[in-house]
Amino acid sequence: MIRANDPSLKSWVEVAPDSDFPIQNLPFGVCKMGNKRAVVVSAIGEYVIDLSVLAEHGFFDDIGFDMRVFEKETLNDFIAIGKEKTAMVRDRLSLVLDTDLDDWDASELEKYFLIPMSEVHMLMPLDIGDYTDFYSSIDHATNVGTMFRDPENALLPNWKHLPVGYHGRSSSIMVSGTPTIRPNGQQKPNDGPPVFGPCKLLDFELEMGFVVGRETQLGETVPVDQAEDFIFGMVILNDWSARDIQKWEYIPLGPFLAKNFQSTISPWVVTLDALQPFKVDGYKQTPAVLPYLKQSDLKNIDINLEVAIQPEGAAPTTVCRSNYKYMYWTMSQQLAHHTVNGCNVRVGDMYGSGTISGPEKSSYGSMLELSWKGTQPVLLDNGEERKFIKDMDTVIMHAYSEKDGVRVGFGECSSQVLPARTVV
């Protein structure tokens, strides 16, 4: 077991039982405080931990890396020091914050490195070079296939043989809190020529993203059983989707403008290390997958996922409760497949899971499925109904793992939808 994951650890920093950030989490992010430069931070309870302050005072000296990685505007350089060293940083933080240890007494420095979250502004944590989105939830793929094709053959013939995906757009991935402008685009009414205007069927997609922590060279492949060595951690991802634009444009090359106007991620990257205790058996894959996708220890991660819709001036209504454990294809299989042709990956690249739906209707990860193509409106607590997302609605996603009294969470991935811009 990783020492920092020990459920019996307690911090001298007070952490509420429902906090996403106990001493067992220690995720990484980037923030700004007032007019000061951006710094790399971790989190505990209601505080961010300024790693540049701890570095300045020598807390990481023996680990052996360039401390300037904590003074960057993204996590990329920190992640690039390698998983062995980033794990040592997390372990050191755990020692510093552990009630029972005084080897790393930091009490005199407390006011310099612990800053209330309410006083900082979280930034986009990554410089994402490339973004790929998969389609790896069997319940989601089955629902979509049932709605748009044939309930008898909902999954296309390739689906159980390879993790289907497409190359997405990284420039428009934004951090939680950034508004989402309703896209304009072409839509094709059933009876008549295509029209242009604001998307009428704006949807969220509940996803998790994983972040590459180690680069490969062109021609190199990542073996499925070593893939976790190449993954730094995970974020919540809302892969905003314009269903009416998507329906008209996607043939034959797949998603394009229906997806690339914006995606939203949570500001905290939770390390794969912190998620180890929450591993569960993977989806039983039949038929057997090809040898390069065969994972000797097929595991998923138990991560509770929630989506709420908050109309302007009203309280949020939770419209979906799903779980990352419903994934058919694992992250390791996705990365092994992505590189099996020699495609290189770089630190900071992001891979979306695809919409994560579960078997129950309440666990469907998009409005498309929750409202079943708009035929069954979703009731909100304020009495309003939604088939898709309206202007000024805020879509809020949460994700957390929980076991043995420890809750390791991802914080919030939230974005308000603003009206479409006028295009002449």
Instruction: Using alpha carbons, list the distances in angstroms from residue 126 to 3, 209, 239.
Output: 27, 12, 17
Q: Least Å distance between CB 365 and Mn ion?
A: 9
Give the number of other Cβ atoms within 10 Å of residue 100's Cβ.
Answer: 9
Q: Whose Cβ is closer to Mn ion: residue 49's or residue 202's?
A: 202
Q: Are 20 and 400 in contact (CB under 8 A)?
A: yes
Instruction: Work out whether 77 is an interface residue with Mn ion (CB under 5 A).
Output: no
CB-based contacts of 405, cutoff 8 Å, min separation 6: 7
| Residue number of the CB atom closest to Mn ion | 239
Q: Are strands 131-134 and 114-116 parallel, antiparallel or unpaired?
A: unpaired
Q: Which is nearer to Mn ion, 98 or 133 (CB)?
A: 133
φ/ψ (deg, to 5) at 346:
-130, 155
Task: Please choose, from the candidates 68, 59, 58, 142, the residue with its C-alpha nearest in 3D space to the C-alpha of residue 93.
Answer: 59
Judged by CB, which is closer to Mn ion: 59, or 204? 204
# residues contacting Mn ion (CB under 5 A): 3
Of 7-15, 202-210, 337-345, 389-397, the segment contacting Mn ion by CB under 5 A is 202-210
Using the minimum distance from each CB to Mn ion, give the nearer residue, 162 or 314: 162
The answer to whether residue 121 is catalytic is no
Q: Which is nearer to Mn ion, 11 or 176 (CB)?
A: 176
Tokens 């009414």 — which residue? 189
Which of 140, 337, 338, 398 does the annotation list as catalytic?
A: 140
- 209/21 Cα distance (integer angstroms): 19
**Nearest C-alpha neighbor of 173 from the set 349, 382, 355:** 349
- Residue 203 lies near Mn ion (rule: CB under 5 A): no
DSSP H or E stretch at residue 280: strand 279-281
Contact 139, 328 (CB under 8 A): no
Binding track over 125-144 against Mn ion, x by CB under 5 A: --------x-----------
Residue position matching structure tokens 């009206």: 419
Considering the complex, what minimum distance in angstroms separates the CB of residue 352 from Mn ion? 6
Q: Which residues contact 288 (CB under 8 A, 6 or more apart)?
A: 294
Please tell me whether residue 205 binds Mn ion under the rule CB under 5 A.
yes
Q: Pick from 239, 273, 306, 349 the residue near Mn ion by CB under 5 A.
A: 239
Based on the shown chain and the rule CB under 5 A, indicate whether residue 50 belongs to the binding site for Mn ion.
no
What's the min distance (Å) between Cβ of 4 and Mn ion? 32
- Least Å distance between CB 322 and Mn ion? 14
Name the one range near Mn ion by CB under 5 A: 170-178, 188-196, 214-222, 237-245: 237-245
Instruction: Supply the minimum distance, in Å, between the C-beta of residue 261 and Mn ion.
Output: 13
Task: Report if residue 228 touches Mn ion, rule: CB under 5 A.
Answer: no
The secondary structure of residue 152, as a DSSP letter, is G
Residue 345: both structure tokens together: 């990956």
Smallest distance, Mn ion to C-beta of residue 373, A? 17
**Paired residues of 402 in beta bridges:** 407
Segment near Mn ion (CB under 5 A), from 200-208, 229-237, 270-278, 381-389? 200-208
Q: Which residues make up the interface to Mn ion (CB under 5 A)? A: 133, 205, 239
| Active site members | 140
